[in-house]
A = this chain, B = another copy of it.
Amino acid sequence: MSGNVVVLTGGVGGAKLVLGLQELAPPDRLTAIVNTGDDFRHLGLHISPDIDTLLYTLAGKANAEQGWGRAGESWSFMAALRELGGEDWFALGDHDLALHVLRTMRMARGDGLAQITADFARSWGIGMAVLPMSEQVVATHVLTDEGDLAFQRYFVERRCQPVVRAIRFAGADAATPAPGVVEAIEAADAILIAPSNPFLSVDPMLAVPGIRAALGRARAPIVAVSPIIGGKAVKGPTAKLMAEMGLIVGNDAIARHYAGLVDGLLIDQGDPPPAGAIASARTDTMMRTVEDKRRVAQAAIDLARAVASA
């Protein structure tokens, strides 16, 4: 494969596709634009869960079984925090803390999240560009039957149990894309949307006007990889959330959600293609092994090529 590939991604699910892309293309051709709608301040620290998950994954440091955080993590900080009565609903590993402490310190002295993220990536030998979607605060809030919950309160503390009525992205209207985001989209030969949660992980990026506009005028084809497999979401709250929002779980709803934005939808081989005009292709989209990830990435790129030449 040649050409520049940009992928818009959330955390765990998206990181698998990014790993697959790494198998296909040299790192200097790859850019990941990462959701920061999950970012929040906790115990005075700036935490960027999706960026961290992607960095840990690309650096080979992720805890794959657990689905978040670092492999070989230790938990002394949390034990000491509990002794002191500190809030312990969000687990911060001892290694993980280094990322948050350094990021917070650098932000406090005026460094941008894009530069900080780039420096972390370089420290760990990650060659591809990892860009936050924005350096301004965009905060995903979930309006539930229990009231308005900041994303991590809904996702981690309440384990996605409240019934979702609507989702909003506080600050998105006024946010601008982070340095490099628009340039990467403009220089892309293919733009992929990872199989992250469309409503919680991808929509915050699309809610930033400058990103939406750049995607709208992009010369490159845009292909989304559906998070649906066999009528279910692979992981996380996608299916539950879709049902609560009155959507029939399936690729029809995903295609409608991305209508007007994407040129193609890559779906699982066991699912029917979506209704409507959108181009689609099928493969086994369950990504367990490196080969799986490579196959899905290749299929997404192939679909992008096909729609570009159609």
Q: CB within 8 Å of B: which residues of A?
A: 43-45, 70, 73-74, 76-77, 79-81, 83-86, 93-99, 101-102, 104-105, 108, 119-120, 123-124
Kindly report how many copies of this chain are found in the complex they form together: 2
CA distance A102 to B87 in the complex (A): 10
Distance in Å: Cβ of A108 to nearest Cβ of chain B? 6
CA distance A102 to B105 in the complex (A): 15
Question: What residues on B are CB-neighbors of A119 within 8 Å?
Answer: 84-85
CA distance A74 to B97 in the complex (A): 13
Distance in Å: Cβ of A282 to nearest Cβ of chain B? 41
Question: What residues on B are CB-neighbors of A85 within 8 Å?
Answer: 119, 123
CA distance A98 to B80 in the complex (A): 6
If A74-B94, A102-B43 touch, whether A124 touches B81 (CB-CB below 8 Å) is no
The answer to whether B77 and A98 touch across the interface, beta carbons within 8 angstroms, is: yes
The answer to whether A84 and B105 touch across the interface, beta carbons within 8 angstroms, is: no
The answer to whether B77 and A99 touch across the interface, beta carbons within 8 angstroms, is: no
The answer to whether A105 and B44 touch across the interface, beta carbons within 8 angstroms, is: yes
If A84-B123, A123-B83, A123-B84 touch, whether A76 touches B104 (CB-CB below 8 Å) is no
If A76-B74, A105-B43 touch, whether A81 touches B98 (CB-CB below 8 Å) is yes
CA distance A93 to B289 in the complex (A): 37
Given contacts A76-B76, A77-B97, 13 further A-B contacts (CB under 8 A): A70-B80, A74-B76, A74-B94, A76-B93, A77-B77, A77-B98, A79-B95, A81-B98, A81-B102, A83-B98, A83-B124, A84-B123, A97-B101
Question: What residues on B are CB-neighbors of A120 within 8 Å?
Answer: 84
List the B residue with the shortest CB-CB distance to A59.
Answer: B83
The answer to whether B102 and A77 touch across the interface, beta carbons within 8 angstroms, is: no
Distance in Å: Cβ of A266 to nearest Cβ of chain B? 35
Q: Contact partner of A74 among B45, B74, B83, CB < 8 A?
A: B74
The listed residue with most B CB atoms (<10 A of its CB), out of A81, A96, A119, A124, is A81
Q: Provide 29 A-B residue pairs closer than 8 Å at the C-beta atoms, listed in order of the A residue.
A: A43-B101, A43-B102, A43-B105, A44-B105, A74-B74, A74-B94, A76-B93, A76-B94, A77-B77, A77-B95, A77-B97, A77-B98, A80-B94, A80-B95, A80-B99, A81-B101, A81-B102, A83-B98, A83-B124, A84-B98, A84-B99, A84-B119, A84-B123, A84-B124, A85-B119, A94-B94, A94-B97, A97-B97, A101-B101
Distance in Å: Cβ of A106 to nearest Cβ of chain B? 8
Distance in Å: Cβ of A117 to nearest Cβ of chain B? 12
Question: What residues on B are CB-neighbors of A96 within 8 Å?
Answer: 80
The listed residue with most B CB atoms (<10 A of its CB), out of A93, A97, A99, A124, is A97
The listed residue with most B CB atoms (<10 A of its CB), out of A79, A98, A108, A120, is A98
The listed residue with most B CB atoms (<10 A of its CB), out of A73, A104, A124, is A104
CA distance A104 to B43 in the complex (A): 8
CA distance A74 to B101 in the complex (A): 17
